[in-house]
Structure 1
Amino acid sequence: MNPDIRVARAQDCPKAGPAISHQPSAISHQPSAVSEQRVTEIIRRHSETMSNRDLSSDLSDSLGEAERRLQAAQLASNVRELTDLIDDAAWFTGPDGNIYTKQDDLDAHRTGYQVLSRVHEEELRILATSDLGVTWFLGVLEGVVGGQPMVARMRYTRTWIRGESGDWKIIAAHAMLLADGGDTDAKAEPGNA
């Protein structure tokens, strides 16, 4: 292992660089793009889906494909693909506890603030219904964040919504650094989505 690369710990993570806004005013208190009526409809469809295991399996497969497209887009910093995979109303909780938007995440890739050289999936769990899904990713990310090398073992929980066209998009995500990632002296923060 390269001696300049260290594993990130939550308490060592600096705030993201200038490409990402941390201003409280960036958080909107407007009603969510996912309305109460939409949530009710999703729950109704969820009940129907749970009774159809074949459909559920197909949905899990398609959500798994979307998750792996996301991993590939992160690795390539493919902003166009990330734009397609992340809903415009999406919010992310980063490993530093701050809240980020879709634009924050795209800017981190577009500006080169975050450049990944490896995404190693150790485990992926999937729950999918007709309109809503959750993925739980466990794995190791390696790259450069804010000019600093980093290796971090991460757990991501991503909530996805499925549009009328059948495409999955992230609507919310949470990232967590895991302490069992190896060397614990890193000073870098992995991305959000």
Structure 2
Amino acid sequence: MEETLIYEHEEKLRNAMVNGDVENLDKLISDELTFVSPFGQIVTKEDDIDSHRSGIVNITEIKFLNQKVIPLEDVAVTITQAKVHAIIAGQHTEDEMYYTRVWQKHKNELKVISGHCSFVKK
């Protein structure tokens, strides 16, 4: 799998998250998504998109600090360190996070099928 294509899709996902663009989130996230939040909760595609649509999660900025792509045959794994500014349930937050995502190519489309996120301890 081509690394530059994965970086492009990571950027598309970042833009969709920051802009609350649920239409593009829907295109970039697999219907089978299983994501583990930094609090140990399992998040589905529906959960993720609904949190953006409802405004419970309003990500105002994501700055990628470091990113690595591990290309495999029909999937790629990304490990991204990012500074995230958000308003979650009315509370302003600013955290440094690590995201691990698995991008799967299915029917000529790349989508996130699995992932995990955790806080960076300083």
Same fold, TM-score > 0.5, yes or no? yes
TM-score, normalised via structure 2 length:
0.96
- How far did residue 97 of structure 1 move? 0.5
- Hey, what does 2:118 align to over in structure 1? 176
What SS does the aligned partner of 1:119 have? strand
Letter in 1 for 2:65: E
- How far did residue 164 of structure 1 move? 2.8
1:79 aligns with 2:22: yes
In 2, are the aligned partners of 1:156 and 1:175 still within 8 Å (CA)? yes
Q: Distance in 1 between matches of 2:79 and 2:72?
A: 15
1:155 aligns with 2:94: no
Match of 2:57 among 114, 123, 145: 114
User: In proportion to residue count, which structure has more strand?
Assistant: 2
> Does 1 or 2 have the higher relative contact order (CA < 8 Å, sep 6+)?
1
Q: Identity rate of aligned residues, in percent?
A: 28
In 2, are the aligned partners of 1:75 and 1:116 still within 8 Å (CA)? yes
Structure with the greater alpha carbon radius of gyration: 1
1:62 aligns with 2:35: no
What SS does the aligned partner of 1:133 have? strand
Q: Distance in 1 between matches of 2:16 and 2:8?
A: 12
Per-residue CA deviation, residues 5-45 of structure 1 (Å, 9 max, x unaligned), is xxxxxxxxxxxxxxxxxxxxxxxxxxxxxxxxxxxxxxxxx
CA RMSD, 1 decimal: 0.9
Letter in 2 for 1:88: D
Residue ranges of structure 2 left out of the alignment (5+ in a row): none
Match of 2:78 among 108, 129, 135: 135
What SS does the aligned partner of 2:39 have? coil
- How far did residue 73 of structure 1 move? 0.4
What SS does the aligned partner of 1:81 have? helix
Per-residue CA deviation, residues 94-125 of structure 1 (Å, 9 max, x unaligned), is 00011110000001100000111110100110
- How far did residue 131 of structure 1 move? 1.0
Equivalenced residue count is 122
